[in-house]
Amino acid sequence: MKACDKKADKKEAVRDAVRRGYAAIAESGGSCCGSAKTCCGSASPEGVAKAVGYSDAELATLPEGANMGISCGNPTALAALRAGEVVLDLGSGGGFDVFLAAQKVGTKGQAIGVDMTPEMLSKARKNAAQFRTRTGLDNVEFRLGEIEHLPVADASVDAIISNCVINLSPDKPQVWHEMARVLKPGGRVAVSDLALLKPLPSGVLESVTALVGCIAGAVLVDATRAMAKAAGLINIDLVSKAGYVENMTEWNDPLYRGVRDQLPSGAKMSDYVTSLYVTARKCGRA
């Protein structure tokens, strides 16, 4: 088999593992921790969301089941969304951030979610019906697709958000190029993701569970900056939120216990992994 074929097969294997993992999450009503109800073990989805920057007022507007505790930041706060804008959420899951964004852009705006897992898409669309009833807004749309190949027209989006998803992609440079493609001139990116402060031990990298939990797929902070720059984005700003990772390990979730057990003696998860806020902009005037 040619080297390029092997690389393509590996990417597809990663994509399939993520798709299966998140299909199970959608169907069980749980999260990336398998039988646990959230990514944080005994913590509630609301507790997870509050810990990474969501307010009680924001959470109160969400349809039941939209918040599955799969967050590593609050990208809607970073994006500074304005009325009338078109916002795109990469890896929208049950619609958590899409519904929050929809309220910020209002009746003249649009919030679009893209997810490659049919089960998540079905969940999000069911949640959308409840959202319309609760808020009176009919400005959300969910599309099936891969974030490496967005089902979105060129230069059609004012803002892109994403919450703990890009690290799952087996072709992250392509994701950043796709973001630049669909952004309008002057459009902006606001991403919360997990990133590495230094390389993970090989045992963690080989764990599919750690991949679905957003850890094994993470890349170094400097690599994230380089990919955004290579895609043509400007005004790139990266802010590390290491405290979130410390909270995850304190929640005693089985996923993070398993990863922690493979670290060198005395090492902490936060020595390797950080929650990273990334903002950037496409050249040109909005």
DSSP string, 172-197: HHHHHHHHHHHEEEEEEEEEEEEEES
Quick one: pLDDT at residue 5? 58
How far, in Å, CA of 194 to CA of 216, rounded? 10
Nearest to 68 by CA among 106, 102, 115: 115
Under a CB-based contact definition with an 8 Å cutoff, are residues 83 and 111 in contact? no
- The predicted pLDDT at position 217 comes to 72
CATH number at residue 267: 3.40.50.150
Q: What percent of the chain has pLDDT over 90?
A: 43
| In contact, 134 and 61? CB cutoff 8 Å | yes
d(CA 142, CA 128): 9
Distant-in-sequence contacts of 258-265, Cβ < 8 A, 24+ apart: 258/207, 258/209, 258/210, 259/204, 259/207, 259/210, 259/213, 259/215, 262/201, 262/203, 262/204, 262/207, 263/201, 263/204, 264/201
114 three-class SS: strand
Which segments in the chain show pLDDT lower than 50? 31-42, 208, 210-213, 252
69/239 Cα distance (integer angstroms)? 22
User: What is the average pLDDT score of the chain?
Assistant: 79
pLDDT at 224: 95
Using a 10 angstrom Cβ sphere, with 0-12 exposed, 13-18 middle and 19 or more buried, the burial of residue 234 is exposed
Tell me the pTM: 0.81
What local confidence, expressed as pLDDT, does residue 221 receive? 93
224: domain range?
A: 3-282
The pLDDT assigned to 225 comes to 96
For residue range 40-84, what is the model confidence (pLDDT) as tens digits?
A: 344 555 555 655 556 666 767 777 766 555 556 677 877 899 999
Number of domains in the chain: 1
Query: What are the CA-CA distances from residue 147 to residues 57, 181, 258, 286 (Å)?
Result: 30, 12, 28, 23
> Rounded to whole angstroms, how far apart are CA atoms 134 and 83?
19
